[in-house]
Amino acid sequence: MTDHVKSSVHTKGPFILAIAGGGSTYTPGIVKSLMVKLAEFPLAEIRLYDIDSERQNVIAPVVEKVIRDHSDSIKFTVTSEPEVAFSGAHFVFAQMRVGQYSMREQDEKIPLRHGVVGQETCGPGGLAYGLRTILPMVELIDLVERYADKKAWIVNYSNPAAIVAEGVRRLRPDARVLNICDMPVAAMRNIAAILGVDRDAVTVNYFGLNHFGWFTHAFVDGVDRMPELRKHVAKFGLLTEDAAATDPQHADPSWVKTWRNIQPLMEHFPEYLPNPYMQYYLMPNQIVEHQDPDYTRANEVMDGREKKLFAAAAEYKKTGILSDAFHVGVHGAFIVDVARSLAFDLRQRHLVMVENRGAIANLPYDAMVEVPAYITSQGPEAITVGKIPLFYKGLIEQQLACEQLLVEATIEGSYEKALQAFTLNRTVPTMQHAKAILDDMIEANSDYWPKLKKAFVDGVAQ
Ligand SMILES: NC(=O)c1ccc[n+]([C@@H]2O[C@H](COP(=O)([O-])OP(=O)(O)OC[C@H]3O[C@@H](n4cnc5c(N)ncnc54)[C@H](O)[C@@H]3O)[C@@H](O)[C@H]2O)c1
Ligand SMILES: O=P(O)(O)OC[C@H]1O[C@H](O[C@H]2[C@H](O)[C@@H](O)[C@@H](O)O[C@@H]2CO)[C@H](O)[C@@H](O)[C@@H]1O
Ligand SMILES: [Mn+2]
């Protein structure tokens, strides 16, 4: 790194980094990734911040061990005090799950009771999660603005990222927040494995919203290898042996099915390679048929990733030996790469969420889209996509309207707008389904959602 490199924050490092949602199952993996890249992203201090100190205290010793295996000098702080967490911080990685896994379980199980897709970020489950997360995300931004370095960046993984991004755009348009998702990089990992090349050798073009988009090209040495990918997908979906081997979570039955489902999606629309999450919108009936209403992905995660990590933490406490309890993978690597590019103006090309501003010519200027962008010290510079075909434009516009209505419902406390959002979602067949699911969700989310008021009761304006 040379002296002329522009830094986004007030220092070129070592940085103070806070992780909001410190008790997350992903924290040890992200910190491991930070340690591996310490020479490129120097750190003075790592702070874990969580509103659930009990949960965070279980994870913290594992995180401390990961740090100490690599560095004696990095200060490590664990706190539930915003002032302690954010004072002078240069970067904040956000990964909050508002309502934790017990509410994820509700998000997935309530729609399934009504015969509708039950998923963490897609369909009614994602909308419910959005209603829980927008305001806590804004609160986090305000805390960071109050205490942190004035040029601090928040790099946000907290889901549902598309809705969070739109909420932040509406409520805190000037905040230095970059919303990211690891699904495209996970798909790129599989694409590279299929093509037999290194992940860094693949450059993709992509357009859409978060968890709602398509890869249009996959270039290797300037040659578009999409034709080869189509042939592989026609037989196997986007599944590779490598994915399961290098990412244990992706050996879980639900992920294997998800990668396989790229095959029917591309059989019908072979032009572009869909984000795996398109399965929920384009083949919801098959998804519901194969979902167990009593045992959803939340249960799989609690019985898998969470249990394994908590057991390893308990064993470490007892024996001082830390087993192989967590996974680094693309998730940890991606957020660190993005932060490095922000910190040192590296202008690396990554798929991130940005305000459209004409990048996709025939979508609204202010839509929060997911496209390739150069990550500079001043934030993302979106790469022009141009016009997209009518079919994709139509699908995206419907989803965008759904997500924007959900944000408006949250801000205005509007029952009608929430019902409109639920009705507009492609996974929801009728307005009656939308209402029944919404009403059940209002009850289940009474500790989390803003109060939704009806503008009309029995036909009378309130
Ligand atoms: N964008 C992506 O592609 C991507 C990828 C993976 C995970 N995620 C998201 O990362 C988050 C963490 O996932 P997980 O499965 O590890 O969940 P988790 O429940 O293990 O961890 C989330 C933590 O956030 C904490 N939290 C909740 N509300 C908070 C608040 N207001 N302030 C501070 N902390 C708060 C919880 O107490 C919990 O410890 C989720 O939002 C998940 O959806 C996003
Ligand atoms: O069901 P979960 O909690 O295991 O995962 C939900 C998340 O799925 C995506 O992230 C994957 C990523 O694709 C994969 O490569 C690896 O890093 O694991 C991640 C978690 O499984 C998705 O992008 C996230 O938004 C979801 O939260
Ligand atoms: Mn994601």
User: How large a percentage of the chain has pLDDT more than 90?
Assistant: 91
Pairing of strands 91-94, 212-220: unpaired
211 is in an annotated binding site: yes
Q: What is the pLDDT of residues 96-124, one digit of tens each?
A: 999 999 999 999 999 999 999 999 999 99
| Residue 181 marked in a binding site | yes
SS3 per residue for 286-354: HHHHHCECCECHHHHHHHHHHHHHHHHHHHHHHHCCCCCCCCCHHHHHHHHHHHHHHHHCCCEEEEEEE
pLDDT for res 7: 57
The predicted-structure confidence for 6-47, as pLDDT tens digits, reads as follows 556 667 889 999 999 999 999 999 999 999 999 999 999 999
| Residue 242 confidence (pLDDT) | 65
pLDDT digits (tens, 9 = 90+) for 282-334: 999 999 999 999 999 999 999 999 999 999 999 999 999 998 878 788 999 99
pLDDT score recorded for residue 9: 66
Compute the mean pLDDT over every residue in the chain, rounded to the nearest whole number: 95
- Residue 125's nearest CA partner among 149, 99, 148 is 99
pLDDT at 335: 98
Contact 420, 405 (CB under 8 A): yes
pLDDT of residue 2: 37
Residues annotated as catalytic are 182, 277
Question: Does the pLDDT at position 356 exceed 70?
Answer: yes
Segment 437-461, tens digit of pLDDT: 999 999 999 999 999 999 999 999 9
From atom 43 of ligand 1, which residue's Cα is the shortest distance away?
159
Task: Note the pTM of the prediction, 2 decimals.
Answer: 0.96
Q: How far is the CA of 306 from the centre of ligand 3 (A)?
A: 18
Nearest ligand to the CA atom of 199: 2
Q: What is the pLDDT of residues 361-385, one digit of tens each?
A: 999 999 999 999 999 999 999 999 9
For ligand 1, atom 27, name the residue with the nearest CA.
98
Distance 174 CA to ligand 3 centre (A): 23
More confident residue, 322 or 213: 213
Q: Give, for ligand 2, the residue of 190, 331, 353 to mutate: max count of ligand atoms closer than 8 Å to Cβ.
A: 331
| Smallest CA separation from ligand 1 atom 37, residue | 52
Nearest ligand, CA 183: 2
Q: 67 alpha carbon to ligand 3 midpoint, in Å?
A: 26
Q: Is 111 in the pocket of ligand 1 (CB under 6 A)?
A: no
250 lines ligand 1 (CB under 6 A): no
Ligand 2 within 6 A of 182 CB?
Answer: yes
301 lines ligand 2 (CB under 6 A): yes
For the question of an ipTM over 0.90, the answer is yes
Query: Ligand 3: distance of its center to the CA of 183 in Å?
Result: 5
What domains lie within the chain, and their CATH numbers? 15-179 (3.40.50.720)
Quick check: 4 pLDDT over 70?
A: no
Ligand 1 nearest-atom number relative to CA 180: 1
